[in-house]
Structure 1
Amino acid sequence: MASSQAPAAGRATSNGTRLSPAKWLSAYDDFIAKNLGQVSQIESTLRSLTYIIPGRFRDAEIASEAIHSGVQLLSLYHDLLLLRTPSVSSPPTPSGHASTRASKSPLGPSQPPSHHTRYTRFWTHKSPFYRRVAIVLQVVRYTELLCEMAGKRRGERLRWRVVILIEAIKAICQLLLFRITRGRTLLTPALPVRQPLPENDDEEEEEEEEEINQAGRTAGAHGSAIGEGKENGLVPSQKTSISPQPPLSPPLSPLQASAELVVEDGQLSTLTPPSPPSTIGQSSPASHTKGWTMPRTKMSMPPLPQPGDISSYLLSRVLTADDIKPATKLLNQLHGSAQVAEILHILTPLVYAIALARSREKGRTSWAPWLAGLAMECAARQLRDHSLRTTSLEREEWSRRGWAMGWWTMRGAFYEHVMKGVVGGVRSRVPSFVGGIIEDYEYLWENYYFSTSPQ
């Protein structure tokens, strides 16, 4: 009985009539890995729609924010999928060249990763605890505004408890990451960022394969023509005059390619088609805009950069000191005042949220919470390491934090006393469609704490 039931279950699984959730998830992961470019475009489109839909934060604020948070969490899952899935590469072919389609990983671009990606990927693979804490921190950042909206539906007191709890969780996660990385500057985000995909990869691969096949067919046609000449007693070196072509000469035209070798009256000869008359104003395509095809092998050379992009083209291929450093050396360990500056930067949002909650009776017009938060942020910037030993990745992170300080103009008392009138003046001078979107975001800035949170 047991032996008869086992094959039946096996047939049900093999026929595909019943699939377990694990198999559905595995099939979904394979689909994401093979169609990463299309998935990234869909994510970007959905994320943009949640930004520009008019009336987003009025009547259905929780629904629209739930869609936005869902897209962000789905994108985070796709990023984690690419992290844990190994890239696939193929060995070289017998001809000495690697297979173009098989050697390229289906999971991401072939360009080298950025310094941020190298550093965060190192800690993600080295420390499972770092990966779990970073995932929790990212999930909290993606859902913090949604949680605040849900808490506000039940009263202001619950809303501020939710805000303080979320800021406390974020501070604890950042302090743990600071401890795990042995006192190094925290990067935002703490997980590797998905690298941008190169454009038109599939079309380029198909063109390369077609060129290789065309080269093989051309070589076979030449071999058969020369073989027929040898059977007729003709020696190509005696009957044909082959003029060498310089390596940078333009490719042969179709008429020249078809008239390379012709057998006439039992003799192997070459025909030179008449050159077209020169016309004034006629110019060949620039070599930097279209690749050049080699006449013998029919292989295409890569296009040259634009004349104005030569400097950036060369700088992008320069090997810097950070490119050969180990991942741990991309950020230095902090000591003394630099360590205090990092801790101050981590605790600033929590202190500001607690100060706002204690002065909520006075509303957002009180200057004390805003001045306290801004003073802590400025103190962190003054205490940070300004010496020459700071790495480029650390300077890049502090530059990002400097730009994020612009959000303090949209928070608390400064927004109520200064920026609110400026936003209203801008809204009255722009078209109605743009003004409607600004009005929706103005409602968001005035009523929710995390709408202007820089972290």
Structure 2
Amino acid sequence: MPSSSCANLACRHHHHLWAYTKTDQNPSRAVTPSLPRTPRPRAKRRRRHSATPSKSSMPAPAAPAAQRPRPSVGQILSMPPQWLAMYDDFITKNAGQVSQIESALRSLTYIIPGRFRDAEIASESIHSLVQLLSLYHDGLLSRAVSRLPAAPVRTAHARYTRFWSQRSRAYRRIAMVLQMVIYTELLCEMAAKRRGGERARWRVVVLIEGVKAACRLLLLRVTRSRPLVTPVLPEREPIPDNDDDDDKEEEEEEGGLLEGTSPHSLSAMDAKPPHEREWKMPRTGMSLPSLPDPGDISSYLLGRVLTADDIKPANKLLNRLQGASRAAEVLHILAPLVYAVALARSRDRKSWTPWVVGLAVDCAARQLRDTGLRTTALERDEWQRRGWAMAWWAMRGAFYDNVTGGVVGAVTRRMPGFVAGILEDYEYLWENYYFSTSA
């Protein structure tokens, strides 16, 4: 066996040697042994750079953002009440600033009433919107004042109107409608004239005066025949701002405090009038009241006197009307309606008949009123206000066309340019619109 294996190895060696020898002699016909080949590297192909990046170079697409759930119908419907609550809270906390903004906007509409005659409806729309918004603010601030721990001292008018607004829902609703009609009456007249001419304007004027008269007659019935006051709703009452109190405390802390005096006691001392402050003796510690100033004696005495109206119940501030005094109140309510109907039926603009009829009804109401000793102070104040309102008859109808208009024109020509321009704008309103001079 060993000899045969050696012979096989020798034969293999001889065979390989012969193969290599043949390869050297004729390389083209060389027979290569079956050895493993190493792979040749492939030549890199030149790729043209295209505008579109390859998939490997492109960034991985971002995961789609999670979509927010759509609000339900209930959530959408709950948004306006939330916004309204936020607005109410803002108005309550910034009552002083809101009043200033309203006054500024209202004054702006007074200064330029007809400077742009083609835009008179827009100007009056702003004025009406401010008035309606202030009416809504009055209701908010009235509720805020009622929640204060110490109620402010109210006037007789505020006590009376507040009593009926809180007691009678019918009074509150009718009074609200009446105020809204008064705030928008001139705007309605302008719109009616723009769309339907003079005929439509007088229809709207008579309709508005009829609505106002109906509301006042209903209020007269709700209050059990007591005179009407103007305005029929409580006026706005001031609310102390929290910001003012904070600023005052900061000033006191920065300026230094008196020895042995706390900030709260110092602010309380400043809030009191001079004659109510006390002086503390340094040795004994006893306090003595301060004497009033000689020039402040009248206010000192009035501050300690209660009038009859101060102790009366709110519903007793106006007496019930009977007989002639009740007829006077009804005539006063119907006087504007009678005048508007007479003007609408009159064909001549400068006719004296409507003016005389309206003034006669108003004067008859004033003559029939009760002037006895039983009239209250609030009733006397209301009739005094009505007396001043009768001056508007000089700016109406035939009296303005024949008398007052010439006087106003003469005064306008002698005024400076800016004042004359404002008077001319008001002349345009007085001459063309009924409610511009309606009291």
TM tier, shorter chain? 0.7 to 0.9
Q: Which runs of 5+ in 2 are unaligned?
A: 1-68, 263-272, 283-287
> CA 1:59–1:214 in 2, change beyond 3 Å: closer, same or farther?
same
Whole-Å Cα distance in 2 between the matches of residues 42 and 36 of structure 1?
10
Q: Secondary structure at the match of 1:78?
A: helix
1:185 to 221, 227, 230: 227
- What are the Cα deviations for residues 411-432 of structure 1, in whole angstroms up to 9, with x where unaligned? 0011111101110111111111
> CA 1:214–1:320 in 2, change beyond 3 Å: closer, same or farther?
same
1:125 to 141, 166, 189: 166
Correspondence list, 1:409-428, <5 A: 409-428=394-413
**Displacement after TM superposition at 1:44 (Å):** 0.8
Whole-Å Cα distance in 2 between the matches of residues 67 and 348 of structure 1?
29
Query: Contact conserved, 1:57 with 1:444, CA < 8 A, in 2?
Result: no
Whole-Å Cα distance in 2 between the matches of residues 334 and 370 of structure 1?
28
1:338 aligns with 2:344: no
1:206 to 232, 249, 253: 249
CA RMSD of aligned residues (A): 3.6
**Displacement after TM superposition at 1:203 (Å):** 6.5
Correspondence list, 1:37-48, <5 A: 37-48=96-107
Whole-Å Cα distance in 1 between the matches of residues 240 and 400 of structure 2?
41
Match of 2:178 in 1: 137
Query: Contact conserved, 1:57 with 1:441, CA < 8 A, in 2?
Result: no
Q: Secondary structure at the match of 1:182?
A: coil
Query: Contact conserved, 2:165 with 2:233, CA < 8 A, in 1?
Result: yes
Correspondence list, 1:80-91, <5 A: 80-85=139-144, 87-89=146-148
> CA 1:306–1:350 in 2, change beyond 3 Å: closer, same or farther?
farther
Match of 2:348 in 1: 362
Query: Contact conserved, 1:50 with 1:56, CA < 8 A, in 2?
Result: no
Query: Contact conserved, 2:327 with 2:365, CA < 8 A, in 1?
Result: yes
Query: Contact conserved, 2:141 with 2:237, CA < 8 A, in 1?
Result: no
Match of 2:389 in 1: 404
Match of 1:29 in 2: 88
- What are the Cα deviations for residues 27-84 of structure 1, in whole angstroms up to 9, with x where unaligned? 1111111111111111111111110126446221000000000000000001112234
Match of 1:99 in 2: none
Q: Secondary structure at the match of 2:320?
A: coil
Higher helix share: 2
> CA 1:171–1:45 in 2, change beyond 3 Å: closer, same or farther?
same
1:162 aligns with 2:147: no
Query: Contact conserved, 2:319 with 2:375, CA < 8 A, in 1?
Result: yes
Q: Which runs of 5+ in 1 are unaligned?
A: 1-6, 90-102, 105-109, 221-286
**Displacement after TM superposition at 1:198 (Å):** 7.0
> CA 1:54–1:386 in 2, change beyond 3 Å: closer, same or farther?
closer
Match of 1:371 in 2: 356
Match of 2:137 in 1: 78
Q: Secondary structure at the match of 1:193?
A: coil
- What are the Cα deviations for residues 289-309 of structure 1, in whole angstroms up to 9, with x where unaligned? 9x998686xxxx999987545
Q: Secondary structure at the match of 1:390?
A: coil
Whole-Å Cα distance in 2 between the matches of residues 362 and 140 of structure 1?
28
Q: In the comparison of the two structures, how many residue pairs are matched?
A: 355
Whole-Å Cα distance in 2 between the matches of residues 395 and 18 of structure 1?
50
Whole-Å Cα distance in 2 between the matches of residues 453 and 305 of structure 1?
48
Whole-Å Cα distance in 1 between the matches of residues 291 and 115 of structure 2?
47
Q: Secondary structure at the match of 1:318?
A: coil
Match of 2:9 in 1: none
Query: Contact conserved, 2:88 with 2:140, CA < 8 A, in 1?
Result: yes
TM-score (norm. length: structure 2): 0.73
Whole-Å Cα distance in 1 between the matches of residues 410 and 279 of structure 2?
59
- What are the Cα deviations for residues 269-297 of structure 1, in whole angstroms up to 9, with x where unaligned? xxxxxxxxxxxxxxxxxx979x998686x
Correspondence list, 1:145-294, <5 A: 145-153=186-194, 154-196=196-238, 201-202=244-245, 205-206=248-249, 210=253, 214=257
Deviates more, 1:390-399 or 1:420-429: 420-429
Q: Secondary structure at the match of 2:90?
A: helix
> CA 1:180–1:322 in 2, change beyond 3 Å: closer, same or farther?
same
Query: Contact conserved, 1:122 with 1:327, CA < 8 A, in 2?
Result: yes
TM-score (norm. length: structure 1): 0.70
2:128 to 69, 72, 85: 69
**Displacement after TM superposition at 1:197 (Å):** 5.7
Whole-Å Cα distance in 2 between the matches of residues 314 and 208 of structure 1?
33
Whole-Å Cα distance in 1 between the matches of residues 291 and 92 of structure 2?
31
**Displacement after TM superposition at 1:202 (Å):** 2.8
Q: Secondary structure at the match of 1:155?
A: helix
1:350 to 318, 337, 341: 337
Q: Secondary structure at the match of 1:139?
A: helix
> CA 1:87–1:346 in 2, change beyond 3 Å: closer, same or farther?
closer
Asked which structure has the greater CA Rg, the reply is 2
Whole-Å Cα distance in 1 between the matches of residues 340 and 128 of structure 2?
22
Query: Contact conserved, 2:113 with 2:120, CA < 8 A, in 1?
Result: no
Query: Contact conserved, 1:345 with 1:376, CA < 8 A, in 2?
Result: yes
> CA 1:349–1:302 in 2, change beyond 3 Å: closer, same or farther?
farther
Whole-Å Cα distance in 1 between the matches of residues 246 and 280 of structure 2?
20
Whole-Å Cα distance in 1 between the matches of residues 88 and 381 of structure 2?
33
Whole-Å Cα distance in 2 between the matches of residues 327 and 212 of structure 1?
45
Task: Supply the AA of the counterpart residue of 1:113.
Answer: R
